[in-house]
Amino acid sequence: MIVSALQKEATLLVGVRDELDEIRKELQIVKSFLQDAERKPVMSDVEKAWVADVRDIAHQIEDLIDEFMDSAPYMEEDDLVGFEEESRLLKIWLMDIKVDRAVISVVAMGGSGKTTLVAKTYKDETVKSHFECYAWINVSQTYTRDDLLRSLIKEFHKTRKEQVPDDLCTKGFNDLVEFLIGYLKEKKYLVVLDDVWDINL
Is the confidence at residue 82, as pLDDT, over 80?
Answer: no
Q: What is the dihedral angle through the alpha carbons of 119, 122, 125, 131, rounded to the nearest 10 degrees?
A: -170
The whole-angstrom separation of Cα 187 and Cα 44 is 42
pLDDT at residue 79 tops 70 = no
Q: What would the mean pLDDT of 160-174 be, rounded to a whole number? A: 86
Mean pLDDT of all residues in the chain?
75
Q: What is the pLDDT of residue 178?
A: 94
What is the domain partition of the chain in residue ranges? Answer: 2-70, 79-194
Top-level class of domain 79-194: alpha beta
Phi/psi at 153 (5° precision): -60, -45
Residue with the bigger pLDDT between 182 and 201: it is 182
